Amino acid sequence: MRKEKGESVEEIIQKLDPKQKTTANKLRAMAEKTIPDIEEKVKWGNITFLLNGKNLSWLIIYTTHIDFGFFKGAELKSPLLEGSGKGLRHIKIIEGEEIPEAEISKLLIDAANLEKMNNR
pLDDT per position as a tens digit, 16-53: 989 899 999 999 999 999 999 999 999 998 999 999 99
Question: For the segment 72-120, what is each residue's pLDDT rounded down to a tens digit?
Answer: 999 999 999 999 989 999 999 998 889 999 999 999 999 999 988 876 5
Predicted local confidence at residue 114, as pLDDT: 92
Walk me through the domains of the chain, giving residue ranges and CATH numbers: 9-118 (3.90.1150.200)
The pTM (predicted TM-score) of the whole model is 0.91
Q: Rounded distance, CA 113 to CA 97, Å? A: 28
